Amino acid sequence: MERWTLPNIMPVVFVLVIVFTIWSIYGRIHLSYLLQTGIFAGSYDDTDSSQAVQAQHFRGWVQFYISQFLTGMLLFCFGCAIFVDPGAVPSEPDWLPQDLTGDQEESDSAKHTAQSNTSAKGTSSCSAIAEETSAAGASLDVVAAEGGPVGAVAASAKAALLGKGASKGDSALGVSSDAATGNLPLVREEKVTGGRRWCKWCMQFKPDRCHHCRVCRICVLRMDHHCPWVANCVGYRNHKFFLLLVFYSVLASHFIIFTMLESVLRVLAEETEFWVRFQLVFGITLASMMALTVSAFLAFHLWMVINATTTIEFCEKRWARPMDALSTTTNPGDALKTINKNKLTTSMYDLGTLENFRAVLGPRVWLWWLPIDLPQDGGLRFQVSAEARKQAVSDEQAERSKSPPPAPAKLKGKGKRKEQKQIADLLASSDDHTDSSEFLPGEGKKNPEWTGLERSEAASKD
């Protein structure tokens, strides 16, 4: 694999060396003394009673089994975090552009070759499609701003063009009838311009919370971060293994510190060989440093799980409400300011502490501490909180009520005649245009009695 380069392997080797060093010192020095094996065989004092010897043996065996269990779980989760696929976007029509859906059976090697050759072409074609859609939407915005049946028809046409329902806030958050029946929307996260998120490297659309990793060179589902210590991305399918790795690292390091402290105090008070004393002091110092580091790391990741966010979302502060910021402005800069002003204090994916932990550690609470029973929701679609849905709808309604509609653009010459023809075609396809009392574009008076055909003829004569 391409990620297995020397710079990527070195952090993994470094972690293994630290684990082996602490485990070796703990077993060869501390446990050997308690069990009177190895270099400490037959080193009991003659004054020690049989009960004290038995108690020391019992304590040694208990510490042996607990330390070996914690170390074994740590190494197993470490291996799973390294070798388990974090989750990639499937090659399905929902995530592929139309011109690539027929190539789903292409082999991986051919696909990577095609990516390097067609990435520029695919990006330019997608940009062209986006420009055409934006131009068509802007043209319909001008018509919709005039109100009346003309504006209603134009607004419906724009909604069909964008693939959205009557309410943008409802559509974006899944408040529509599809969500009521249990069907989650395909995507909620969009670009500032309203388009779907696209990966130019993988040549596919991105699901929600999905990001492209430059090291692994794939789009990772619900990507948390790329961890150099496991030479892998932490994503939807191995997030539980990563959390358990940190969890068992904390337990193992603290257990070793508290139990090995007995041997450290003993060698400092008694006459002991230098290399035995040095190894015990070095081992407990190394374990203390690791315990401090991984404890802070575990606390941070547990906080993010409780708040239903990832490291990338935390760093990018991607808690903006998924509302259409362009509903009141056509300037992307103003739209970005609107998004930044309407930050949520919590993630929109926050469903409560219990459900947030289930989304990462699996549905069965009693199996959270074992590296089994992974989440089964697929990692492509995510539910949002009811508070986020209600807040987005109320915010959008407030924005629409206080913001005036954009002024219609003034067209001249051929552009004006083309716009009038588009309006006439829209009116011809409408069933309720006979009651219109609005101004006919291009005229200076109201004509409430005109039919759609007469409007079309007047527009064409102009």
Burial status of residue 329 (CB atoms within 10 A of its CB: 0-12, 13-18, 19 or more): middle
Within-domain flag for 357:
no
Rounded to an integer, what distance in angstroms lies between the CA atom of residue 349 and that of residue 305?
A: 11
Per-residue confidence (pLDDT) for residue 185, from 0 to 100: 72
What does the pLDDT read at residue 122?
43
Is the domain of 100 the same as that of 202? yes
Pairing outcome for strands 225-227 and 232-234: antiparallel
Question: 357 phi and psi, to 5 degrees?
Answer: -70, -40
Statement to judge: residues 199 and 329 lie in one domain: yes
- For the chain, the domain total comes to 3
Query: 455: domain range?
Result: 414-461
Cβ(232)–Cβ(238) below 8 Å? yes
- Residue 368 in any domain: the answer is no
Which token pair is 89?
């976007």
- pLDDT for 38: 73
Are 198 and 328 part of one and the same domain?
yes
DSSP string, 281-321: HHHHHHHHHHHHHHHHHHHHHHHHHHTT--HHHHHHT--B-
* Whether residues 197 and 337 fall in one domain: yes
Helices (H) and strands (E) in the chain, counts: 15, 6
Catalytic residue among 77, 80, 202, 227: 227
What local confidence, expressed as pLDDT, does residue 107 receive? Answer: 43
Q: Which of 356, 374, 402 is the last residue of a domain?
A: 402
Query: 116 and 199 share a domain?
Result: yes
Whether residue 214 is contained in a domain is answered as: no
The pLDDT value given to residue 390: 82
Tokens of 160: 């069909």
> Are the C-beta atoms of 33 and 27 separated by less than 8 Å?
no
Which H helix or E strand runs over 198? strand 198-199
Indicate whether 70 and 136 sit together in one domain. no
Does 213 fall in a domain?
no
User: Would you say residue 48 lies in a domain?
Assistant: yes
Cβ atoms 455, 424 nearer than 8 A: yes
pLDDT score at 100? 55
3-state SS track over 233-276: EECCCCHHHHHHHHHHHHHHHHHHHHHHHHHHHHHHHCCCCHHH
Same domain for 330 and 201? yes
Could you say which of 302, 336, 363 is where a domain stops? 302
Instruction: Going residue by residue through the chain, which has 462 residues, state the pLDDT in tens, using 9 for 90 and above.
Output: 577 889 999 999 999 999 999 999 999 999 999 998 877 776 655 556 678 888 889 999 999 999 999 999 999 999 999 999 999 999 888 898 876 555 544 444 444 454 445 444 444 444 444 444 454 445 445 444 444 444 443 444 444 334 343 334 334 444 333 433 345 677 888 887 778 899 999 999 999 999 999 999 999 999 999 999 999 999 999 999 999 999 999 999 999 999 999 999 999 998 889 999 999 999 999 999 999 999 999 999 999 999 999 999 998 865 444 444 444 445 555 555 554 554 556 788 999 999 999 999 999 999 999 999 999 888 999 988 888 788 777 777 777 777 665 555 555 555 556 666 666 665 555 444 444 333 334 444 444 444 444 444 544 444
201 and 99 belong to one structural domain: yes
Contact 325, 340 (CB under 8 A): no
Say whether 216 is catalytic: no
Look at strands 204-205 and 211-213 and give their pairing.
unpaired
Q: Are residues 173 and 191 in the same domain?
A: yes
pLDDT value at residue 195: 84
Dihedral sign from CA coordinates of 77, 82, 84, 88: positive
β-strands 204-205, 218-220 pairing: unpaired
Q: Are residues 332 and 420 in the same domain?
A: no
Q: Are the beta carbons of 222 and 310 closer than 8 angstroms?
A: yes
Q: Tell me the two tokens of residue 9.
A: 């392997």
311 in any annotated domain: no
168 and 29 co-located in one domain: no
Domain edge (last residue) among 240, 270, 302: 302
Domain shared by 396 and 331, yes or no: yes
How far is Cα 32 from Cα 40, in angstroms, rounded to an integer? 6
Structural domain contains residue 187 = yes
* Token pair in block for residue 112: 């990577």
